[in-house]
Amino acid sequence: MSTESKTRAVTTFRLTEMKQRGEKISMLTAYDYSMAKILDAAGIDVILVGDSAANVVAGYETTVPMTLEHMIYHGRSVARAVNRALVVVDMPFGTYQGNTKEAVASAIRIMKETEADAVKMEGGEEIIESVERILSAGIPVMGHLGLTPQAIHKYGTYTVRAKEKEEADKLVRDAHLLEEAGCFGVVLEKIPAELGARVAAELKMPVIGIGAGGGVDGQVLVVHDMLGINDEFSPRFLRRYANLHDVMTDAFKQYIEDVKSGDFPNSAEQY
Ligand code: KIV
């Protein structure tokens, strides 16, 4: 591990300024060095080392199996590549929900061992003590409300959340609690657009949506989904910016053909 830690151009303070100016915030996930380097050079504002690595990298059905070691490995790989964007690492399931001491210890490990800038945690009132302890250790925290994939076994479905008044009211209360605790931002996942816009209007901290409509302060997508690497996931909120599944398949097929035919390597491609 390097002993120097980086100060990146995009800070949590800068994100608040962007919200105040009405400038939208761009955020995408990354899990490895090469992808993070491309994203950073392209000018993304925030890179999330999401525990969605469970789905798109490791092939698990849920994010529940991710461990602190997994997240530290991905976080470190990403942070090494990034000079400009703010790097946020997801705290994995089981490292903060039960015990505030363990929560602080987990967050400290992420910060020390990855050189990321902040952590993200799913939940509101039920995790607020852990959020406060982590913030008091000097670690910036981003919240995550609405569809919280780590709680999949509680809800049993990935459908749109907070459509009913009771759940929507709780989400608004939770968002205020996170802001009052000192979080620098919150992700709202898969909720009605009207609710997303209401939360963004009520809060001073930036609200980043994924399936939360256009009235929030910024957007996040899972990079494999927006690049079309995974062609099996098509929720309404997803816009595909490329079809890398087909581009990669064609490249792999061509390579296989070239190896089989003896065309690769040619005389210029050997020593
Ligand atoms: O893990 C993740 O990629 C996330 C995003 C969906 C916001 O939490």
Q: Which class for 268: exposed (0-12), middle (13-18), buried (19 or more C-beta within 10 A)?
A: exposed
Atom of ligand 1 minimally distant from the CA of 220:
7
Give distance in angstroms: CA of 251 to centre of ligand 1.
Answer: 29
Q: What residues flank ligand 1, with Cβ below 6 Å? A: 29, 48, 50-52, 90, 144, 187, 189, 210, 220, 222
Which tens digits make up the pLDDT trace of 141-158? 999 999 999 999 988 889
Which tens digits make up the pLDDT trace of 74-129? 999 999 999 999 999 999 999 999 899 999 999 999 999 999 999 999 999 999 99
Token pair for 246: 């087909």
Ligand 1 pocket test, candidate residues 49, 121, 220, 229, most atoms within 8 A of CB: 220
pTM for the structure as a whole: 0.96
Active site residue 189: yes
pLDDT higher than 80, residue 137: yes
Ligand 1 pocket test, candidate residues 187, 219, 226, 229, most atoms within 8 A of CB: 187
Atom of ligand 1 minimally distant from the CA of 29:
3
Give distance in angstroms: CA of 87 to centre of ligand 1.
Answer: 13
